Structure 1
Amino acid sequence: MITQNSIGSLITTIENKVATLEFGHPASNSFPRELLDRLTNALNDLSSNPEVSVIIMKSEGTGAFCAGASFDELLAVSNQEEGTKFFSGFAHLLNAMRKCTKIIVGRIHGKAVGGGVGIASACDYVLATKNASIKLSELAIGIGPFVIEPAVSRKIGKTALAEMTLAAHEWKTADWAAAKGLYADVFENTEDLDRALENFCSNLASYNPEALSEMKKVLWEGTDHWETLLFERAAITGKLVLSDYSRKALTQFKK
Structure 2
Amino acid sequence: MSLENQNGSLQTSFTGTVATVEFGHPASNSFPRNLLNRLTAEINLLSRNETISVIILQSQGAKVFCSGASFDELLEVENEEQGTEFFSGFAHLLNAMRNCSKIIIGRVQGKAVGGGVGIIAACDYVFATTESAVKLSELAIGIGPFVIEPAVSRKIGKMAMTEMTLAAHGWKSAEWALEHGLYSEIHPATELEAAVENFAKKLSAYNPDALCEMKKIIWENTEHWESLLFERAAITGKLILSDFSKTALLQFKK
**Per the shorter chain, which TM-score range?**
over 0.9
Q: Which runs of 5+ in 2 are unaligned?
A: none
Post-superposition offset of 1:47:
0.2
CA distance in 2, matches of 1:131, 1:27: 19
Q: Aligned runs of 1:137-216 on 2, under 5 Å?
A: 137-189=137-189, 191-216=190-215
Separation in 1, partners of 2:216, 2:25: 32
SS in 2 for 1:112: strand
Report the Cα distance in structure 1 between the residues aligned to 2:197 and 2:154, rounded to whole angstroms. 26
Q: 1:62 Cα deviation (Å)?
A: 1.0
Q: 2-side partners of 1:6 and 1:69: how far apart?
A: 14
Structure 1 segment 95-174 matched on structure 2, within 5 A:
95-174=95-174
- For 2:236, give the aligned amino acid: T
2:6–2:26 Cα contact (<8 Å) kept: no
Root-mean-square deviation (Å):
0.9
Q: Look up the SS of the partner of 1:14 in the other structure.
A: strand
Name the counterpart of 1:242: 241
Please say if residues 40 and 96 of structure 2, whose CA atoms lie closer than 8 Å, have aligned partners that are also in contact: yes
Q: Distance in 2 between matches of 1:170 and 1:7?
A: 29
User: Residues 5 and 25 of structure 2 are in contact (CA less than 8 Å); yes or no, is this contact kept in structure 1?
Assistant: no
- Does the CA-based 8 Å contact 1:111-1:131 persist in structure 2? yes
- Structure 1 residue 252, shift from structure 2 partner: 0.5
Q: Residue 65 of structure 2 aligns to a residue in which SS?
A: coil
3-state SS of 1:65 partner: strand
8 A contact 2:17–2:53 mirrored in 1: yes
Distance 2:77 2:40 in 1: 21
The AA in structure 2 aligned to 1:196 is A
* Aligned sequence identity (%): 67
- For the residue of structure 2 that corresponds to 1:161, the secondary structure is helix
Cα distance in 2 between the residues matched to 1:114 and 1:155: 15
After superposition, what is the alpha-carbon deviation per residue over 1:20-65, rounded to whole angstroms, capped at 9, x for unaligned? 0100000000000000000000000000001110000000011210
Q: Which runs of 4+ in 1 moved over 6 A?
A: none
User: What SS class does the counterpart of residue 96 from structure 1 fall into?
Assistant: helix
Task: Report what 1:233 is aligned to.
Answer: 232
Using the TM superposition, give the Cα deviation of residue 7 of structure 1 relative to its aligned residue in structure 2, in angstroms. 1.1
TM-score (norm 2): 0.98
Separation in 2, partners of 1:207, 1:22:
24
How do 1:54-73 residues align onto structure 2 when only pairs under 5 Å count?
Answer: 54-73=54-73
User: 1:204–1:4: structure 2 CA closer, same or farther, 3 Å change rule?
Assistant: farther
After superposing the two structures, state which structure 1 stretch, 3-12 or 34-43, moved more.
3-12
* Distance in 2 (alpha carbons) for counterparts of 1:44 and 1:52: 13
How many pairs align?
252
Q: Residue 5 of structure 1: CA displacement?
A: 4.8
The answer on whether the counterparts of 1:58 and 1:106 sit within 8 Å (CA) in structure 2 is: yes
- The residue that corresponds to 2:91 in the other structure is 91
Alignment-mate amino acid for residue 107 of structure 1 = R
Deviation at 1:140, TM superposition (A): 0.3
Distance across 1 between alignment mates of 2:196 and 2:188 = 13
Indicate conservation of the 8 Å contact 1:142/1:249, yes or no. Answer: yes
> Given that residues 4 and 10 in structure 1 are in contact (C-alpha distance below 8 angstroms), is that contact kept between their aligned partners in structure 2?
no
State the partner residue of 1:35: 35
Given that 2:118 and 2:148 are in contact with CA atoms closer than 8 Å, whether structure 1 keeps it comes out as: yes
Per the alignment, residue 76 of structure 1 pairs with 76
Give the secondary-structure state (helix, strand or coil) at the position aligned to 1:107.
strand
Partners of 1:52 and 1:21 in 2: CA distance: 13
Answer yes or no: is the 8 Å Cα contact 1:29–1:60 preserved in 2.
yes
